[in-house]
């Protein structure tokens, strides 16, 4: 009996569990560009172009490897609007009654597949290094699910950067070496860029026609769109970017969009690269002496630590995770996130590079756009939908814990032990943004005071009941209490005025 083998847009891996369980001689692969997936948030046009190009190339690779592949194009008149509709159509076409699929990375789609009239068998997604069961076992009985302890277990299981039982270099984490401010010049020319070929050009035309209204620039598309290109991107970065990756991981510089970052998350998350192979390449560079340990460890921690950990949390916490709002924030996402005018240089830089590249690095996401939304009290659901839409690497399993949990503290502290908030001082220390800003980072109040400075204290004051008992925040409450009462009043009044101007849609 013929079965269908579903391959989703972020499942473009040769060793995918659904493919491994299928029989090339009798089963039929189904892939489809469908309106529901392309439209559940207004995805950045470069994200759609990347995924459709990579899907089309993966389908061609499967065909060359002998699979019967039925591929639905978005502009194909027969293509269904949803994954389930497409499965039903193909089931009828080939006479199949069952579907094999690898578990999707989003509750929405898992539930849709379970409700689909044609029965779907969901197989574990073994492209990750930690299964749901292993994560649940690790989490069981713990008071706090801190990433650092999870990460140490992952180091031991994978053997990465281990000297026998001990961590290489005698310590698990070199993060304290990885917070250097931006240096003057960047000696890495950024991620490898690829000229669009015929397949990509055809997709670009389609995306230009159908997604013109979405936030994001489609021109100057340079992403890798198949595994061979993604592998070249990885080697290029390991040679040129990795050596300085650790030192300047948190730095931000005007006009330097990628610094020494890998810019490989979109390839990892779509399945063009695997987590173990990228970590092994990085470990090898350290063992060969071409990259320092703080860089190799810093990178490997992000991949086998943070990436696996956030996925574990997403699946452990369940479908309602994205609705959490522990701080009761309800402000609308300011228009500046969609490219509206702003006088804040840091926000302008982060948003405009997001519009151009569908990329911003971690500190831009966490300490600029995320920090501002949290300080301003924006509804976390809206913040979540923005991040899910605008980044080429965004799928809910990874984006939601980062946004709802790490960035917005909306899960009440499952991921973060304290909220990631800062005044302008942090941004000034880690970037050169403040130099060209209409606001003054050193002004705490008055005309031209940096909005981060005002909103920081507004946030601390309005959430005092929740945070003053947190030992990591006590010092800041002491600083606030030592401030002159009039000064505190002025800060809160000016912060309130600023929020009112945001709500009124004025340029801030």
Provide CB contacts within 8 A for 14, sequence distance 6+.
61, 227
Contact residue for ligand DLZ among 105, 216, 292, 370 (CB under 6 A): 105
Contact residue for ligand DLZ among 18, 28, 29, 38 (CB under 6 A): 38
Q: With binding defined as CB under 6 A, does residue 90 bind ligand DLZ? A: no
Contact (Cβ atoms closer than 8 angstroms) between residue 241 and residue 261: yes
CB of 21 to ligand SF4, least distance (A): 51
Mask for 50-69, x = binds ligand DLZ (CB under 6 A):
-x------------------
Positive or negative, the CA dihedral 369, 375, 376, 381 is positive
Beta-carbon-side half-sphere exposure of residue 342 (alpha carbons within 13 Å):
24
The distance in angstroms from the start CA to the end CA of the chain is: 63
CB of 328 to ligand FAD, least distance (A): 19
Determine which helix (DSSP H) or strand (DSSP E) holds 163, and give its type and residue range.
Answer: strand 162-163
**Which among 423, 431, 430, 426 is positioned nearest to 479, based on CA atoms?**
423
Q: How deeply is 23 buried, as exposed, middle or buried, from its count of CB atoms within 10 A (0-12, 13-18, 19+)?
A: exposed
CB of 16 to ligand SF4, least distance (A): 43
Residue 434 interaction partner, one of ligand FAD, ligand SF4, ligand DLZ, none, beta carbon < 5-8 Å per kind: ligand SF4
**Which among 319, 309, 306 is positioned nearest to 134, based on CA atoms?**
309
Q: How deeply is 38 buried, as exposed, middle or buried, from its count of CB atoms within 10 A (0-12, 13-18, 19+)?
A: buried
Residue 262 interaction partner, one of ligand FAD, ligand DLZ, ligand SF4, none, beta carbon < 5-8 Å per kind: ligand FAD
Measured in degrees and rounded to the nearest 5, phi and psi for residue 448 equal: 80, 10
State which of positions 241-280 bind ligand DLZ (CB under 6 A). none
Positive or negative, the CA dihedral 327, 333, 338, 340 is negative
Residue 263 interaction partner, one of ligand SF4, ligand DLZ, ligand FAD, none, beta carbon < 5-8 Å per kind: ligand FAD
Q: With binding defined as CB under 6 A, does residue 390 bind ligand DLZ? A: no
Other C-beta atoms closer than 10 Å to the C-beta of 496 total: 12
Mask for 452-481, x = binds ligand SF4 (CB under 6 A):
x-----------------------------
CB of 4 to ligand DLZ, least distance (A): 13
State which of positions 345-374 bind ligand SF4 (CB under 6 A). 345-346
Q: With binding defined as CB under 6 A, does residue 366 bind ligand DLZ? A: no
Contact residue for ligand DLZ among 34, 96, 368, 390 (CB under 6 A): 34
Residues that contact ligand SF4, how many (by CB under 6 A): 14
Contact residue for ligand DLZ among 37, 226, 283, 399 (CB under 6 A): 37
CB of 303 to ligand FAD, least distance (A): 5
d(CA 437, CA 435): 6
Determine which helix (DSSP H) or strand (DSSP E) holds 482, and give its type and residue range.
Answer: helix 474-482
Give the SS3 label for residue 423: coil
CB of 430 to ligand SF4, least distance (A): 10
Q: With binding defined as CB under 6 A, does residue 8 bind ligand DLZ? A: yes
Give the SS3 label for residue 425: helix
Q: With binding defined as CB under 6 A, does residue 116 bind ligand DLZ? A: no
Contact residue for ligand DLZ among 87, 91, 109, 268 (CB under 6 A): 109
Partners of residue 431 on adjacent β-strands: 252
Residue 306 interaction partner, one of ligand SF4, ligand DLZ, ligand FAD, none, beta carbon < 5-8 Å per kind: ligand FAD
Q: With binding defined as CB under 6 A, does residue 424 bind ligand SF4? A: yes
> Which pair of tokens denotes residue 182?
């931006």
Q: With binding defined as CB under 6 A, does residue 252 bind ligand SF4? A: no
Rg (CA), the chain: 23
Partners of residue 5 on adjacent β-strands: 29, 100
Among residues 96 and 406, whose Cβ is nearest to ligand FAD?
A: 406
Give the SS3 label for residue 136: helix
Please state whether 199 falls in left (phi above 0), alpha (psi between -120 and 50) or beta.
alpha
Among residues 31 and 360, whose Cβ is nearest to ligand FAD?
A: 360
Positive or negative, the CA dihedral 75, 34, 267, 209 is positive
Alpha helices in 219-274 (DSSP H): 227-240, 242-245, 265-270
Residue 9 interaction partner, one of ligand FAD, ligand SF4, ligand DLZ, none, beta carbon < 5-8 Å per kind: ligand DLZ
CB of 396 to ligand SF4, least distance (A): 29
d(CA 200, CA 54): 8
CB of 269 to ligand FAD, least distance (A): 5
Among residues 10 and 27, whose Cβ is nearest to ligand FAD?
A: 10
Q: Which residues bind ligand FAD (CB under 6 A)?
A: 261-265, 268-269, 299, 302-303, 306-307, 310, 361-362, 365-366, 370, 387, 391, 393-394, 398-399, 402-403, 406-407
Q: How deeply is 331 buried, as exposed, middle or buried, from its count of CB atoms within 10 A (0-12, 13-18, 19+)?
A: middle
Contact residues: ligand SF4, CB under 6 A: 344-346, 424, 427-428, 433-434, 437, 439, 441, 450-452
Contact residues: ligand DLZ, CB under 6 A: 8-10, 32-34, 37-38, 43, 48, 51, 104-106, 109, 395
């Amino acid at each position: 009996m013929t079965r269908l083998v579903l391959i989703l847009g972020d499942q473009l891996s040769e060793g995918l569990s659904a493919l491994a369980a299928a029989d090339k001689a009798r089963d039929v692969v189904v892939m489809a560009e469908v309106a529901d997936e392309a439209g559940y948030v207004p995805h950045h046009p470069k994200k759609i172009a990347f995924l459709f190009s990579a899907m089309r190339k993966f389908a061609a690779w499967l065909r060359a490897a002998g699979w019967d592949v039925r591929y639905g194009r978005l502009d194909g008149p027969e293509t269904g609007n949803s994954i389930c509709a497409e499965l039903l159509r193909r089931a009828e076409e080939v006479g199949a009654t069952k579907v094999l699929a690898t578990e999707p990375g989003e509750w929405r789609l898992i539930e849709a597949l379970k409700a689909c009239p044609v029965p779907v068998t969901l197989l574990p997604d073994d492209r990750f290094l930690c299964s749901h069961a292993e994560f649940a076992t690790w989490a069981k009985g713990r008071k706090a699910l801190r990433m650092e302890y999870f990460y140490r277990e992952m180091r031991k299981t994978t053997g990465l950067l281990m000297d026998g039982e001990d961590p290489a270099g005698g310590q698990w984490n070199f993060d304290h070496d990885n917070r250097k401010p931006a240096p003057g010049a960047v000696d890495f020319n950024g991620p490898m860029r690829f000229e669009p070929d015929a397949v990509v050009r055809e997709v670009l035309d389609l995306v230009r026609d159908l997604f013109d209204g979405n936030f994001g620039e489609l021109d100057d598309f340079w992403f890798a769109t198949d595994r061979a290109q993604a592998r070249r991107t990885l080697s290029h970065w390991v040679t040129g970017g990795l050596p300085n990756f650790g030192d300047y991981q948190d730095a931000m510089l005007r006009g330097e969009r990628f610094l020494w970052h890998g810019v490989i998350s979109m390839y990892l998350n779509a399945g063009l690269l695997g987590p173990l192979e990228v970590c092994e390449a990085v470990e090898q560079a350290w063992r060969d002496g071409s990259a320092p340990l703080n860089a190799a460890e810093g990178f490997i921690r992000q991949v086998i630590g943070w990436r696996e950990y956030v996925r574990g949390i997403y699946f452990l916490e369940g479908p309602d995770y994205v609705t959490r709002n522990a701080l009761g924030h309800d402000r609308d996402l300011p228009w500046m996130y969609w490219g509206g005018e702003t006088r804040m240089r840091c926000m302008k830089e982060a948003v405009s590079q997001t519009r151009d590249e569908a990329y911003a690095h971690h500190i831009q996401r966490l300490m600029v756009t995320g920090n501002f939304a949290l300080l301003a009290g924006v509804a976390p659901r809206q913040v979540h939908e923005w991040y899910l839409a605008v980044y080429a690497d965004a799928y809910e399993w990874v984006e939601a814990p980062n946004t709802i949990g790490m960035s917005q503290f909306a899960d009440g502290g499952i991921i973060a032990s304290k909220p990631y908030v800062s005044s302008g001082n942090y941004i000034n220390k880690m970037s050169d943004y403040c130099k060209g800003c209409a606001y003054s980072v050193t002004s705490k109040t008055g005309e031209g005071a940096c909005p981060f400075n005002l909103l920081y204290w507004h946030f601390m004051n309005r959430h005092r009941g929740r945070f003053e008992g947190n030992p990591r925040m006590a010092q800041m409450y002491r600083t606030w209490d030592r401030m002159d009462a009039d000064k505190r009043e002025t800060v809160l009044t000016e912060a309130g005025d600023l929020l009112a101007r945001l709500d009124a849609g004025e340029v801030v």
